[in-house]
Amino acid sequence: MLTPMNPTTGSALTEVPSLSSEQASALIDSAVAAAPAWAILSYKERGQYLLNIAELMRKNKDELARLMAEEMGKPLREGLGEVEKAASCAEYYADNGEAFLASEFLQSDARDSYVCHQPLGTVLGILPWNAPVWLALRFLGPALMSGNTCVMKPDPNVPATATLLTQVFQQVLPAGVMENLMVKTELVGEAIDHPGIKAISFTGSSQAGRKVAARAASGIKPAVLELGGSDPCIVLADADIGKACDVITLSRLINAGQSCIAVKRVIVEANIYEQVCEELTQRFNALELGDPREDNLCIGPIARKDLRDQLHDQVMRTVNAGARCLTGGERPNMPGYYYPPTLLVDVTPGMAAFEEETFGPVLAICKADDIDDAFALANNTEYGLGASIWTSNDISAKRAAIELQAGQVAINGIVKTDPRLPSGGIGKSGYGRELGPHGIREFVNIKQIWAA
């Protein structure tokens, strides 16, 4: 059985049966059996299924948002936005998938030579809890549109959300095309090893991603890994400081800071350092913790007690190493797994909040001597998911685009995922890309055809 917890109250939710090894294998077999018929459908036919799914998701958006609030603490307004974004992802691939996978005619010594894109078969998606609807569609949309069948393995924290999302898909799709693999973590390796699984998509921590990558590689199966991040945000002296602090606060505290691509480290030029620290402190102090099940602007809880405790340990280790805590930094005396918006300043390399991913509402501020020092601090990390810079200087912006070592760079804006643009990282942040025209080509056979 899976026993999810309500992070708002700390109480157990309804237990959910988990599949046995035999049941899991049979479910994967069902998706494998459905693959040939799904693959021969036209793009237009598969696209219409995705459009119907998007419509049905919107009809269920209130219940999906409520379940996310209950199971992982996402405020209702954010949950509703997540469902809308996920539905738009389905529509995006329905509208553009055929063009992205069109045959490419290439010159060679042949009379006719080209590349076509064909589905691999059945793809396994291993998903986290922090955005259970959006991250599911980020996997399911392109994989289904390209002609693969899909097995979704949701996180044990969000079984009810995953069940409702599965019902939406299965109400629209032919039998077996999308299956929900409700298993405990220890059975995930068996699912990867199943001979019917031809590729794996994984979103989660770098530690878990290393294990998934090794297991997939042992079966010579392709994988896309979207892992953790310690995203830097550079603020230069010529930036619009007020706007930068507004966006940094939003980026760090959306979903209670539980986002891979959120700003984790803010690197500020020395001559505006105190001003930025003061403005961010004001913004952090204005925020309140609250019940995510209510329609308000609160900061919700951390999804699990162990994650909250781990976050607090990172804060304490950073302070003990010499950083100052300007606000937050203490576990509140209230039910649930809440943690206050916390601002750590004078953070330097070697400290926990600089070196590690902090998955919660904790922001580290670092002082840079100049722009060169800022770039060096930003790139002083094993991660490489997202990065950003605030500047009014076009030369500085162009330098950032080239020199920041990350899968995506935002200039005077927030690092975010968009169905139209590829997303992914380097280093400990993973490999492969999701979304955009690049993401749909991850799980196809790029076949070369040569004819004399």
Cα→Cα distances 350→18, 347, 353, 411, 427, Å: 41, 9, 9, 27, 18
Catalytic residue among 70, 78, 179, 226: 226
What phi and psi values does residue 48 have, to the nearest 5 degrees?
Answer: -65, -35
Of 48, 146, 160, the closest CA to residue 100 belongs to 146
Buried b (16+ CB within 10 A) or exposed e, 227-245: bbbbbbbbbbbebebeebb
Of 328, 331, 410, 413, the closest CA to residue 365 belongs to 328
Helices 76-100 & 61-72, crossing angle to 10 degrees? 120
**Annotated catalytic, 226?**
yes
Are 303 and 72 a contacting pair, CB within 8 Å?
Answer: yes
In the block, tokens 């094993």 appear at 382
Catalytic residue among 233, 260, 277, 298: 260
- Spatial separation of the C-alpha atoms in residues 63 and 108, rounded to whole Å: 55
End-to-end, the C-alpha distance of the chain in Å comes to: 59
Q: What is the DSSP string of 156-184?
A: TT-HHHHHHHHHHHHHHSPTTSEEE----
Are 448 and 113 a contacting pair, CB within 8 Å?
Answer: yes
**Annotated catalytic, 403?**
no
- Spatial separation of the C-alpha atoms in residues 431 and 206, rounded to whole Å: 11
Are 421 and 409 a contacting pair, CB within 8 Å?
Answer: no
Which sequence positions are flagged as catalytic?
Answer: 226, 260
